[in-house]
Structures are given as structure tokens and as C-alpha cells.
Structure 1
Amino acid sequence: MTFTPPPKTVDEFWSLISSYAIGKYLMIYKKSEPGIITQGRLAARDRAIGVIVLQSDNYPDKAHVIRLDDLKLIDDTRTGSGALSSVAPMEGDWVLDPYGNWTRRQNNPIQ
């Protein structure tokens, strides 16, 4: 589910969180920690005390309690932690020639 623009109020976030099944993988951006992503599977939600709990996939004993009023953005497009895709193959700029000397690769446009 995607909001345009993203939810701004606690009620809008609660409506979105309520639509997710327990166990749904979420990435949460918080107001209090710009640039930091909290991620895990939705383990619990409680409107009365205003929190959600995400259970880490990587650290089974780690749970993140997040206040509803601290939510900035929810990314529900992932199915687990990790990159969306693999990195393209890369070659080094320097190569070891047959004589044991390091030289720049011939097809390198930056020389």
C-alpha cells in the first residue's frame, strides 16, 4: 500500500499499520533519527499506548519499539533485510602485468 503523499498524522499511520498482517516486513523511517532505518517484521501494535514493535530478522533477541508519533515513513516493499539487487560486476583500475608490475588497465577512461 502506498500513500501519496505519505501519512502525516498518527491516525493515518495507525490506519496503515492496522492494514498489515503480523509478520509483515517493514522498514521504518523515524522523525527522531533522520537517515536511520529501523527494520523488521511487525510483531505487535498497540493503539492505546501508541507503539508498534518490529522483530529483527538478523538478531532474534532484538525487538524495536517505535512510537506512532515518531513515524515519518513506512517502506513496505521489501520482503526481508538486504539489498534489492546484486551489485554489477566491477574490475579494478590497476592490474598486475606479466613482469610483476602494477599498471593501469588499458581500457580505463580515467588515466
Structure 2
Amino acid sequence: MLNLYTVTLLMTGGTNSKFQYSVTFYPQDKFDRVAVLQATIPKSFYTVRRNLNTFTLTEGLDEVVITIPIGNYSRKSLQDTLQTILNESSPHNISYSIFWPTSKQPNTDI
């Protein structure tokens, strides 16, 4: 099974929303079509990749490296994960909250 991150890395052309992907078959296979039986494509998703999943939180003179687990996140799951990690890692026990625009505010999330 391929996740969106894997498909994005292996796509042969196009964009993230309209792409081509080559399927390799064994010589004995006589297929000329592929059916997608199930797909989950959230409205907003954020891919946190290996080696691109850390940043430094600075509170006064204290610094701590924040590491977000690798994976694909919906907006809500990224919010919950990041808020929890920030609150657990805060050197000065600062309480962090993450908010998204309301329905009446512009959403610059592309």
C-alpha cells in the first residue's frame, strides 16, 4: 500500500493534486489497468519528513530541540501534536496554544 508521501516521491509527472504514477508489473502479469479501491485525501494535510522534523524552541536563554514525529498530519492532528510537544518540552513550563483562523477570517493555508 502506498501513502501520499510515497506516491509524491514516485510520481512521474504532474502536480500533487493531478499526477501520473507508473506501476511496474512482473513480465508474467498481463494487466493493462489498475483500480484504486480506497483512498483517503484530507482537505488539508501536512507531511513531516525525516531530517525536516526538528526546530529549536528558545525561551529566554534556554533552548530545546523540538522533534515532531514523521508522518502525514491533518490540520487538527498537527495542531494537537505540536501543542502537546511544545507544552511538554517548554524549559520554563510555558503553556502554548495553537489556533487556526475562524470561518470569518481569511485562511491562508494553501
More helix as a share of residues: 2
Where on the TM-score scale, by shorter chain, does this alignment land: which range?
under 0.3
Greater relative contact order (CA < 8 Å, ≥ 6 in sequence): 1
- Given the two structures, how large is their TM-score scaled by the length of structure 2? 0.22
Q: Which has the larger radius of gyration?
A: 1
